[in-house]
Structure 1
Amino acid sequence: MIPSSVDYTRASSVTEAIRLLTDNPDAKILAGGHSLIPAMKLRLNAPSLLIDIARIPELRFISDEGDKVVIGAASTHHDIISNEAVQDMKAMIEAGELIGDTQVRNMGTLGGSIAHADPSADWPAVLLALGASIQVQGPNGERSIAANEFFLGFFMTALDEGEIVTAIHIPKLAEGQQTAYRKFMQPASRFAIVGCGVSVTVEGGLIKDAKVAFTGVSDAAFLDEGVAAALIEQPVTLETIEAAANAAAEGDIHINEDHFSSQAYRKHLAKVYAKRALAGACGLD
C-alpha cells in the first residue's frame, strides 16, 4: 500500500527536533524508518509531518564511560554489534545479529526500536536483562527512565508528549557476570515469537544475581521474577537451569496469542528459550 501524503523535514539538533514535535502534535520522529514506514504503508499510522533525526551527530555515538557504555539513540544495529565497547556484552551482540537482514541492521536504530516498543522487538528484553536506563529529552528538559519502567504495554512507553529518546546507558558487566540472548523467530520478519535475554552473575560456583527478560510473550517486554528467584544461591548446573526455566511465564502474566502461536505454545517456548539463554550465559549450551 501507499502511505498517506505527509510533510517531511530534517532536524539539525535535538533541540530543533523537540521544538518541531511540540509545534506539530501529529508529527512523528523518523530515525531508521524500519518500524514507522511499514506502519505508514499499512495506514496504521498517518502523521502530518515526519521529523528526520537520523543525521543529528549528537544522537549517533557509542561511548565507553568507565562504569557504563552509552549508546546514542540514532546508533544503528550494525553500529552496536561492530563496536568494541559492547563486545563483552554477548546478549547485545547475539540480539543485534538476529535483527532483520543486512539492510535493516544498517538502517534501523536502537532508539527507534525501543521508542516504537513493538512487543516482539529484540532490544527491550536485552536492555531489561542488562539493567539499562533510557535517557530522554523533551520540552521540560532531560530525564532518565529505568528500562523496567519504560515499556508499559502494546506499543506503549513511558515517553511523555514531545519527548524523544536520546541515549541508552548500560552498566558495565560485573566480575562473574555473563549474558545471553536466544529467540524463536518468525521466519519472514525475524521478529521474536519468543525471545529471552538473561544476565547471570556467578561467584564460588553459585548464582548470586540473575535477570531474565522476555519479549514476544506478552504485550510488552518484562522481567520474569519467578525464574530469577529460582536461580539465586543455586549451583550452576543444567538441573538448576531447567528447574528455574520451568517457572517461566507463570503467574499473573498475559500471554499473547496470534496466528503464529497459541498461548499454550508461547508459554512452552518461554520455558524452552529461558533454558537455552541461561545455559548460554552459563557456558552450558
Structure 2
Amino acid sequence: MIRTRLRYHAPEDIEEACSLLGAREEAAVLGGGTWLVPLMTRGERRVSDVVDLRRLDLGVIEDGDGQVVVGAMATYAEVLASSVLRERAPLLYTAAAGVTGGKQIHNLGTLGGSACYAFPSSDVPACLVALGARMRIYGAAGVREVPAQEFFLDAFRSAAGPGEILTSIVIPVLASGVGYYKLKLSEGSWPIATAAAVAGDAASNTELGPSVTLGGVARTPLRIDATEVLDSAAGDGVTERLDALIAEHLTDPWDDELAPAWYRRSVAPAVARRALKQAIEGRER
C-alpha cells in the first residue's frame, strides 16, 4: 500500500506534462508503473505528484528510412507484436521476449520506462547502446537527441533531466549479424550479466561497427569494440582477445544482492562470447 497522499495528473499533451514535472520537485512520470509503483509501495521513492502519460500518443512504432522509431510508451507486448521490429531490429525483439516478469511485465512495462529507470541488470539499456539508438527527449527547450551510450549516466540515473520526458527511441536498422545472451540464476530473477553483440552485414547499417555491449556487470552498459576480435575470427585467438578486452574495460564491476562484483567479472567473458558467436553466425547466413 502507498502510504502517502499525492496528486494525480493526466495531461493531454507533452507540453503540459513537462510543465507539471518541471514545477514540482517530487513529481514522477507514470508510464506502465512497473518500476514506480513498487518503489512507492516500499517507501523507497517519495512522490508528491504523479504525471500519467497514458493519454499521450507515445506508443507508436514507425518504420522509417534506415531506422525504426519506437514510442517511449510502447509496451513489451507491443514490441513483440511488431513485425517491423522483429524483422528490422531483431536484437531488441529478442531481448524484449525474455524480460523478467512474464506476461504482466510484457503487458504493462514500457521500453521508455525501462530505459529511464536505468537499472544495470535490465535487458533494455545494453541493447539500446549496442544498436546505436538515439533517445529523443522533450523539455522546455524543445526536442533533443542523446546517443544511448550517453543517456545512461549511472546506475538508476539517465540523461532525462527535471521537466524532461523521453518521447521516443530511434533505432538504426540492423536486420542480421546480431546476438543476445544473458545469465540468470532462475527464470524469475534479474540477469547477472547480459551481452548484446553486433557483427553487422552488408545489408544493414554499415555505420555501426562490430561490438559487444555488456549489461548487468557495471553501473552503465559497457560497449567494447569487437573489430579486432572479428578480424581474428578465422584464427584461434578470438576467445583470448575478447577476454582481454573485457578485462581491460571492466574495471569497476557492479555489486548488489543478486551477485558480487567478482562473480560478475568472472562470468562476463563467457556471456559475451556466446552473444558474439550468435552474431557471427547470423552475419554468415
Structure 1: which 5+ runs fail to align? none
Partner of 2:240: 243
Note the C-alpha offset of 1:249. Answer: 3.5
Structure 2 residue identity aligned to 1:93: Y
Deviations 1:108-159 (A, max 9, x none): 0011111111111111100111110000000111100001111011111112
**Does 1:105 pair with 2:102?**
no
Greater alpha carbon shift after TM alignment, 84-93 vs 132-141: 84-93
Note the C-alpha offset of 1:95. Answer: 0.7
Distance 1:61 1:202 in 2: 28
Task: Give identity over the alignment, percent.
Answer: 30
Structure 1 residue identity aligned to 2:125: P
Distance 2:39 2:258 in 1: 19
Distance change (3 Å), C-alpha of 1:163 and 1:257: same
Structure 2 residue identity aligned to 1:60: G
Structure 1 residue identity aligned to 2:159: A
**Does 1:35 pair with 2:32?**
no
Distance 1:37 1:111 in 2: 16
Partner of 1:224: 224
Partner of 2:95: 95
Structure 2 residue identity aligned to 1:255: P
Deviations 1:87-126 (A, max 9, x none): 1332212210111210101110011111111111111100
Distance 1:248 1:6 in 2: 48
Q: Say which SS state the counterpart of residue 179 (structure 2) adopts.
A: strand
Distance 1:90 1:147 in 2: 18
Partner of 2:257: 259
Distance change (3 Å), C-alpha of 1:13 and 1:249: same
Partner of 1:282: 280
Distance 2:2 2:209 in 1: 49
Aligned-residue Cα RMSD (Å) equals 2.2
Distance change (3 Å), C-alpha of 1:5 and 1:150: same
Distance change (3 Å), C-alpha of 1:95 and 1:241: farther
Note the C-alpha offset of 1:275. Answer: 0.8
Q: TM-score, normalised on structure 2?
A: 0.89
Distance 2:19 2:2 in 1: 29
Partner of 1:273: 271
Note the C-alpha offset of 1:259. Answer: 3.1
Distance change (3 Å), C-alpha of 1:240 and 1:277: farther
Greater alpha carbon shift after TM alignment, 77-86 vs 187-196: 187-196
Partner of 2:63: 64
Partner of 2:205: none
